[in-house]
Amino acid sequence: MRFSPLLEELIESLRSLPGVGPKTAQRMAFQLLTRGREKGKRIAHMLNLGMEGIGHCQRCRTFCEAEHCAICLAPQRDSSLLCIVENPIDMMVIEQMNIFKGFYFVLMGHLSPLDGIGPEDIGIPELAQRLTNSSISEVILATNPTVEGEATAHYISELAKQQPQIKVTRIAHGVPLGGELEYIDGGTLAHAFTGRGEV
């Protein structure tokens, strides 16, 4: 790219997008320059607005440009249910299914002592306060079924059980629909057997 230092810098900056290597960044830059300058400026505009303006909901900690997100403000939702997820994408995925009508609490991560991520970093103090203050009757733990996710779920379940009126549940783990047993890993299959239900 010796012919244009500015273009070189543009390509270099696009490489900091996740999953974008040198070839992809090159293609993006050339395509935007050739037939999408307006699109390029719009991306720049939205990035500026987003990076400056998007903070966290004061209630559930998800990404949000206002003080409270639209879900926390929805009056028709069931305030007795609180679903704990690791990040806003998980919250979005659950929302897209349209089966859960309670509120969320987004940890924005999981407990990971080795990386120095402790309870304060994932909003446990705010969560603890929320559990005492409100009319919650069930806490649904929907953290990922990874070592850190399970540890986080365990930690929060201990916390929630201090409130006697709260029932703590964990989303079910087992063989996914459409999955074939021969391709399922042993851990999942063991979970599916332990958690078997009567038909």
Binder to a copy of itself among 61, 62, 83, 131 (CB under 8 A)? 62
Which listed residue (58, 78, 79, 95) binds a copy of itself by CB under 8 A? 95
Of 46 and 190, CB closest to a copy of itself: 46
Minimum Å distance from CB 34 to a copy of itself?
A: 7
Determine the interface stretch with a copy of itself among 10-18, 132-140, 160-168, 170-178 (rule: CB under 8 A).
10-18
Total residues found in the chain within this entry: 199
Phi-psi region of 108 (alpha: psi -120 to 50; beta: other; left: phi over 0): left
Phi, psi at 101, each rounded to 5°: -120, 15
Decide whether 1 or 190 has the Cβ nearer to a copy of itself. Answer: 1
Residue 92 in contact with a copy of itself, rule: CB under 8 A: yes
State the DSSP string of the chain.
-TT-HHHHHHHHHHTTSTT--HHHHHHHHHHHHHH-HHHHHHHHHHHHHHHHH-EE-TTT--EESSSS-HHHH-TTS-TTEEEEESSHHHHHHHHHHT---SEEEE-SS--BGGGTB-GGGGTHHHHHHHHHHS---EEEE---SSHHHHHHHHHHHHHHTTSTT-EEEE---SPPTT--GGGS-HHHHHHHHHT----
Does position 162 interact with a copy of itself (CB under 8 A)? The reply is no
Q: Is 16 in the site for a copy of itself (CB under 8 A)?
A: yes
**Residue from 80, 87, 137, 188 that binds a copy of itself (CB under 8 A)?**
87
Q: Which of 22, 58, 65, 190 binds a copy of itself (CB under 8 A)?
A: 65
Site for a copy of itself in 168-187 (CB under 8 A): none
Q: CB of 126 within 8 A of CB of 61?
A: yes
Among 21, 22, 30, 114, the residue binding a copy of itself under the rule CB under 8 A is 30
In angstroms, give the least distance from the CB of 54 to a copy of itself: 6
By CB under 8 A, name the binding residues for a copy of itself. 1-7, 9-10, 12-14, 16-19, 24, 26-34, 36-37, 39-54, 57, 62-65, 69-71, 87-89, 91-92, 95, 108
